Chains A and B, each alone.
Chain A
Amino acid sequence: MDYALDSKLARFARRIKPAKKKKRLAPPSPFKQYKEGLPDDKAEQLREFFEDFSAHCLIAKKEKKRLQTDFERAILHYENAGVSLEKALDLLAVKNLGSFYARPPVLWFPLDDAAKIYPLSMEHGIMSIFRLSVYLKQSVVPELLQMALNFTIKRFPSFATTLKKGFFWHYLDTTKRRFTVEQEKGVPCESLKVALSGSQSFRVIYYENRISVEFFHVLTDGYGGMAFLMALTSEYLRLMGVEIEPEGMLWDVNAIPVAEEVENAFAKVPRSGSASGFMDKLAVQMNGKLSENKPSRVIHFKMNASELKAVAKKHHTTITVYLLTLMFLAGRAATDELQGEASIQVPVNMRKFYPSKTVRNFSMYCGIRMPIEETTDVQSIIVKVDEQLQKKASKESMDAMLMATVRLVKFLKYIPLILKQRVAKVVYGFLGDKIFTNTLSNLGVINVPPAMAEHIESMDTVMGPPITNRASCSVITMNDIATFSITKTTFDPTFEEAMYDLLLADGISITVEGSDFYEA
């Protein structure tokens, strides 16, 4: 009996000994070492700084610790970069946190009318995500990017949220935590884990000189996403010591958010006229086996924007129409079908018809259709594409689609979410993206202040992988570089190769960048 007790005690002692040893051996943190080496006046300055931080940060203990570590890492980065402590503390001034971390969460946001479908239709591995990236001229400093996010998030209260389930609809509930920046490791536009308490519905990632933000579409559309990315980048550059005057092009991260910026703009549109625009015939799909991992690859064509514009002008049209035309032709090459219609979805920013500052979703879309048999060369279809785009992306057509959305939401509003979810999954699973062949989202020319532009190389935007479509495309222009991006869901390279050849044939020089194939 005694022996058994002794052996138990011995086992217990063995179990606790290594822990003690480990504790003794743990080296002091680099920041502690740095702090201990400081002269008294600077140590006092630092102590006051963190006291101020404590007064401004009343979130959960664990999150506060993380936030404090972010400050410590940033200070160490400045120290290693030869920046004086005074300057570092000035750049990292606690006032930049605002009162975001000092107050408990109160706000909540019902989903806007366009966002309501996204959580209803999502499945494991299928989530509407899009990505915006900015390429800097220097490698990203993660410590400062994290601080830039810590300072920027307060300006976008509808982004500092977690998706929650209500009885009738989902909604966004404010979450006060330290939002994280991660090094890019996964597949672009990979599903976000939005299910856990306090999880974020966007992802800030960096890789070499690229800062990317991936958004779950419940939060925002391209316009809102761009406002966030530009605000984040300008804050990052400020922390890097670059002085930028916003010149009305950037969001001031220290300004107080106003209701108009987070409103459901659909509710403000006058409700009259006919409603139509959702249903359409099934479109011809490009061939090629769908990959198991989506996207199978991401490709960027980087072109000179002036060259591209000149070529579009030569065809008496816009860049969007020109690219749409080439996409129809490239799509034609990527399918074995001889009959039927191809259709390209084109998102339309409703802010151009109803000016709004909202960063929530406020976009609709139209479908440009073209019979396969008629898709033979640029000249034969470019006028038809132009005519269709003008008509289908007009205010009248968009109003009709918007009305259909508003009415659908109104019709469904008293049906419990559990039923809506089942029906949406069946309908979405049945239709999905089958009425389109491809997508083209043109975010246009992004203008930023010159002081900021000189630190940026280019930008790109990646659409989330479609379900049935073999590709979806987007284009964005910055610093005279137009980046046409293709999100692929098949290993068949015909579409991008045809697109490349068509652009090359028109005398446009292209640099091709992208990912390798994502194979299991």
Chain B
Amino acid sequence: MKLKITYPPVEKRKLQRRHLLRIIRWPVLFAVVMSPVVNYILGGKAWSLIVLMSIYMAWSLVLSPDLVEYNRISQSIKLISFSCSLLAMIDFFLSPGWAIDVVPIVCFGGLVITGVMFFTDIDRQKQNMLPMLFLIVVAIIGSIVGLSIWHEKVRWPFAVMGATAVLLLVACIITLRGEFLRELKRRFHVK
């Protein structure tokens, strides 16, 4: 069977990159298995959970990025969510007592950053509003919960986070008006 080649040759680099990504999976998998084992053998605090979370974070953000909606807002929010979870875990498993202030501050920073990203390129970024809405909702719920549970402690980080989230939400509604509702309709359709 004689075959006439009618397709262009493909750059080896392109094929090798895919191959490299496949190879990287193995050391990552090795670390995922080994860190709890080592932690168990050595005993002590559950540091391996932090390692696992960090690996998942790196995997999700760098090695296996989102296949749909990979944009600067969604990625920033993903990074902020992972960072907050990681901070909360470090607080809970390794050195307790500080995350209650730090997490809302990080979240506040995240709201400000995504707000700036959103409003400086609104024409394009209005199509990427959903992740920001989630962060806003989570921040509002978080601040309500935080203020009601830890009301005896210093509560300004929760208040600032909640106020920023509400402000951002109001700014979105005022700026987008009808489009805000249309965007919600698309994002929450069940058809």
Residues of A within 8 A of B (CB): 60, 108, 110, 119, 122-125, 162-171, 173, 175, 184-188, 194-198, 207-208, 210, 264, 292-293, 298-300, 413-414, 493, 496-497, 500, 511-516, 518-520
Contact = CB atoms under 8 A, between A and B. Distances in A.
B68 A514 contact: no
A198 B71 CA distance: 10
B159 to A, nearest CB: 28
A168 B3 contact: no
B33 to A, nearest CB: 20
Given A60-B123, A162-B127, A168-B190, A185 B68 contact: no
B15 A519 contact: yes
Given A165-B69, A166-B188, A167-B187, 20 more contacts: A124-B21, A162-B127, A164-B127, A166-B130, A166-B189, A168-B188, A169-B190, A169-B191, A185-B10, A186-B10, A187-B10, A195-B65, A195-B67, A196-B71, A300-B6, A496-B1, A500-B1, A513-B6, A514-B4, A520-B12
Contact-residue size bin, chain B (C-beta under 8 Å from the other chain): 35 or more
A264 B11 CA distance: 39
B177 interface: no
Contacts of A516: 5, 7, 9
Given A173-B186, A512-B1, A194 B123 contact: no
B66 interface: yes
Contact of B1 (A108, A167, A497, A518): A497
> Which of A162, A197, A413, A513: most chain B Cβ within 10 A?
A197
B124 interface: yes
Contact of A124 (B11, B67, B127, B128): B67
Given A497-B1, A514-B6, A122 B67 contact: yes
A197 B124 contact: yes
A14 B21 CA distance: 41
A210 B6 CA distance: 9
A189 to B, nearest CB: 12
Interface of B: 1-12, 14-16, 18-19, 21-22, 64-71, 123-125, 127-128, 130, 186-191
17 contacts: A162-B127, A164-B127, A166-B187, A167-B187, A171-B186, A175-B127, A194-B67, A195-B66, A195-B67, A195-B70, A195-B71, A198-B127, A292-B19, A512-B2, A520-B15, A520-B18, A520-B19
5 closest A-B pairs by beta carbon, nearest first, are A195-B70, A515-B7, A110-B191, A520-B15, A520-B19
Contacts of A185: 8, 10-11
Contacts of B188: 166-168
A494 to B, nearest CB: 11
A304 B165 CA distance: 67
Nearest to B134: A167
Given A60-B123, A293-B15, A520-B19, A170 B187 contact: no
A518 B11 CA distance: 10
B4 A164 contact: no
Given A124-B21, A167-B130, A207-B8, A513 B16 contact: no
B128 to A, nearest CB: 6
Contact of B186 (A108, A188, A496): A108
B7 A188 contact: yes
Contacts of A124: 21, 64, 67
